[in-house]
Structure 1
Amino acid sequence: MKKIERKILFKYIILIVGILLIIFLCLKNSVIREVLYLLFISFVIAYTVRPLQKKMQQYGMSRRTAALVLICVLILIVIAAVTLLIPSIFKESLNINTTFDNIQRLVDKFYSKLKPLSNNKTMYIVIDKLHNRINNQTIGFFTNIFESALNIGQNIVTIAVVPIISYYFLSDGHSIGNKILNFFPIKSRTMVRKVGCDIDKILGRYIVSQLFLCLLIGIATFIILIFLKVDFPVILSILNAFFNIVPYFGPIFGAIPAIFIALVDSPEKAIYTCIWLYLLQQIEGNIISPKITGDSISMHPLVVILLLIIGGKAAGFLGMILAIPIGVIIKIVYEDLNYYLF
């Protein structure tokens, strides 16, 4: 390939990286973050059901009709799921305040036992500050989680826009891709199209596999918590499934609420909960996930952790969710261009 073409392509690589950095900076704005969050959810939904759309098109159904049918079916599934889950979640939430009080008493009890061990003033101050910090962080952690869940319910009108956006992604996604392709030089479009196809294939597989794994983790967590008789099994299993989207840190964030609530009943129950959830994550991470996801998105653990830190700093939990897909895109672009150019 000519040097001039290489220079043009590398300019576009820099442009893509620049766009990604701008997106991360925009995520710091709450309004832009909410809009991007809705676009991201809509994009994930469209990506998940697109293979079904292609199958329906093979049987003679038009692109728009297939998209409309799939979105209607998804809406019915969501309504059915909400109808089944909401009564259980409401019933469990009635005892949340009591559980918060029990957790606070548990922390205070631990502090009262630890306090006599402080033999000097410095040690006493350290333990006292540690107690206040743990107390505030623990209650704050649970409060933020449940407030976020309530905010989802309050923003139901905004979330209702998601099916509409998903429909347009499904019906007009191909034309959006063609318009983006027009920004590239004519000589480079064949290569850009190939790179785009690779991104589409691998990213689609990643998104679908992650959603399947989250569903699997949620069901397995619910069974474990029911078996161990831990309170709030529905809420805790949904939280664990949701946090599982984020590698490494997600399973820890998802397990902490269940372990703390189990600890309110007894230390033994908390230990068993910790062991079972740890075993579940090991089975998912070492056996199930490699078979479903494969090696197509394999990245070094250090790279994944750095991406998660950058994403978390840029946009909190949403940034951590977006960090891996963006990292996958950069990885595919680098590998494909390295193959085509050299």
Structure 2
Amino acid sequence: MKKIDWNWSNLGRLAIALLIIGIIIFLLWKFPIFTEVLGVVIISFIISYSIRPFHKFFMERGLNRKLSALIVILSIILFVVIIFSILVPWIYNESSNFAEVIGEMKSYYERITGDIKYVTDSPFVKEVLYNSYERFKDALMVIVSNFLSKIVSIAENLLLLFIIPTLVYFFLSDGDSISKGIMKYMPFSNKYAIRRALNHMDKVMERYIITQFELCGIIGILTFIALKVSGIKYALILSLVNAVFNIIPYFGPVIGAIPIILIALLTSTKKAVIVIFWLFVIQQLEGDIICPKILGETVDSHPVTILLLLIIGGSIGGILGMIIVIPVWVMIKIVVGEIDYYLF
């Protein structure tokens, strides 16, 4: 076991580093513009780290770092453009037919009340069902309105859409140079420990990211097949939504299943029951077979710990916070493990 040399020089460097961190925290607290800038940098770094496996794929085939980074970013931009070219017309058509969807909801409400006439003879039950329908309709209108507003706000901020891909490109193409530049300011006697921790973190996170892509792909395909077999509309979109939300442990499958079940209910109660059954089967396959096989011991944390982390991440950053809190926790565990190795 190699001990870290805590001499006065290293303690001085540590004090300077803590002072710089304190200044950064003060600036973020006092001046919101710094928070926005830091947010853009962090988002760019997360994106670049997430697509590093693709970057390495091209580098392993003889392309240099800059060309590999350019190919990956252009491919992702092309993919996003294709997705939006499909989604935007679909959203427009569905928004124009929104009155029809509301009508289907009303028909569903009437069908449900017809199926349970012997219960709905009670005025209280009728009022509860009708109020539930009205609340659901209002909530759906708010969700659609907020979603369209988000798209408009993103489209308005074209500068941000340009800055993020540029930063991602530099993180990918000059990542080694940035890392070496940072290492120059590290205490010489501790460089081995820092480099070892970073290499360990890099390998674990790369494997985690790859497995998440694999997991999303498998869940998306299984969901698409289940919805197609069940005859549910918008199978492709709903499958993509469910696949993405499955990145979030425990809560993700529930969030991803909600729009699927709602669309199925608008078709028929029987189809909704069938869809719920298939989603349950997929969830069991994911929890008992797919996740243990793919993820292995990457996360290696107690379920209670994961739940607490998800609650904290959700309270801080919403859905995005719930997605990134687990990889952040994995990195913290690695750092703590390395500190424990070198100090004790």
Shorter-chain TM-score: which interval?
A: 0.7 to 0.9
Report the Cα distance in structure 2 between the residues aligned to 1:136 and 1:65, rounded to whole angstroms.
53
Report the Cα distance in structure 1 between the residues aligned to 2:141 and 2:255, rounded to whole angstroms.
11
2:172 counterpart residue number: 170
RMSD: 3.8
1:312 to 311, 314, 317: 314
- Whether contact under 8 Å (2:4, 2:343) holds in the other structure is no
Distance change >3 Å, CA 39–CA 103, structure 1 → 2: farther
1:181 counterpart residue number: 183
1:74 counterpart residue number: 76
2:56 counterpart residue number: 51
1:210 to 201, 209, 212: 212
Report the Cα distance in structure 2 between the residues aligned to 1:44 and 1:3, rounded to whole angstroms.
31
Deviation at 1:283, TM superposition (A): 1.4
1:197 to 190, 196, 199: 199
1:297 to 288, 299, 302: 299
- Whether contact under 8 Å (1:104, 1:135) holds in the other structure is no
Instruction: Report the count of equivalent residues.
Output: 322
Distance change >3 Å, CA 206–CA 115, structure 1 → 2: same
Distance change >3 Å, CA 96–CA 324, structure 1 → 2: farther
Report the Cα distance in structure 1 between the residues aligned to 2:133 and 2:49, rounded to whole angstroms.
37
SS in 1 for 2:233: coil
- Whether contact under 8 Å (2:241, 2:256) holds in the other structure is yes
- Write the letter of the residue equivalent to 2:340: N
Report the Cα distance in structure 1 between the residues aligned to 2:95 and 2:244, rounded to whole angstroms.
18
1:39 counterpart residue number: 44
Report the Cα distance in structure 1 between the residues aligned to 2:130 and 2:341, rounded to whole angstroms.
56
- Whether contact under 8 Å (2:44, 2:165) holds in the other structure is no
Report the Cα distance in structure 2 between the residues aligned to 1:44 and 1:152, rounded to whole angstroms.
25
Within-5 A mapping of 1:227-242: 227-242=229-244
Deviates more, 1:306-315 or 1:158-167: 158-167
Distance change >3 Å, CA 183–CA 285, structure 1 → 2: farther
Deviates more, 1:196-205 or 1:93-102: 93-102
SS in 2 for 1:245: coil
Report the structure number with the largest CA radius of gyration: 2
- Write the letter of the residue equivalent to 1:218: G
Report the Cα distance in structure 1 between the residues aligned to 2:97 and 2:234, rounded to whole angstroms.
9
Distance change >3 Å, CA 82–CA 304, structure 1 → 2: same
Consecutive unaligned residues of structure 2, counting only runs of 5 or more, are none
- Write the letter of the residue equivalent to 2:293: K
Distance change >3 Å, CA 79–CA 148, structure 1 → 2: same
Structure 1 length normalisation: TM-score?
0.77
SS in 2 for 1:43: helix
- Whether contact under 8 Å (1:41, 1:162) holds in the other structure is no
Report the Cα distance in structure 2 between the residues aligned to 1:325 and 1:68, rounded to whole angstroms.
26
- Write the letter of the residue equivalent to 1:301: P
Report the Cα distance in structure 1 between the residues aligned to 2:40 and 2:190, rounded to whole angstroms.
32
Distance change >3 Å, CA 44–CA 151, structure 1 → 2: farther
- Write the letter of the residue equivalent to 1:49: F
Deviation at 1:263, TM superposition (A): 1.3
Deviation at 1:247, TM superposition (A): 0.8
2:254 to 252, 255, 260: 252
Report the Cα distance in structure 1 between the residues aligned to 2:341 and 2:41, rounded to whole angstroms.
32
- Whether contact under 8 Å (1:214, 1:242) holds in the other structure is yes
1:269 counterpart residue number: 271
Report the Cα distance in structure 1 between the residues aligned to 2:185 and 2:138, rounded to whole angstroms.
51
Distance change >3 Å, CA 232–CA 313, structure 1 → 2: same
Deviation at 1:99, TM superposition (A): 2.3
Deviation at 1:131, TM superposition (A): 6.5
Deviation at 1:276, TM superposition (A): 0.4
Report the Cα distance in structure 2 between the residues aligned to 1:203 and 1:45, rounded to whole angstroms.
9
1:151 counterpart residue number: 150
**Percent identity of paired positions between Structure 1 and Structure 2:** 35
Distance change >3 Å, CA 3–CA 284, structure 1 → 2: same
1:284 counterpart residue number: 286
- Write the letter of the residue equivalent to 2:338: D
Deviates more, 1:262-271 or 1:106-115: 106-115
Deviation at 1:268, TM superposition (A): 1.3
- Whether contact under 8 Å (1:222, 1:233) holds in the other structure is yes
Deviation at 1:324, TM superposition (A): 0.8
- Whether contact under 8 Å (2:45, 2:168) holds in the other structure is no
1:140 counterpart residue number: 139
Structure 2 length normalisation: TM-score?
0.77
- Write the letter of the residue equivalent to 1:189: K
Report the Cα distance in structure 1 between the residues aligned to 2:5 and 2:339, rounded to whole angstroms.
14
Deviation at 1:47, TM superposition (A): 2.3
Distance change >3 Å, CA 155–CA 267, structure 1 → 2: same
Distance change >3 Å, CA 277–CA 226, structure 1 → 2: same
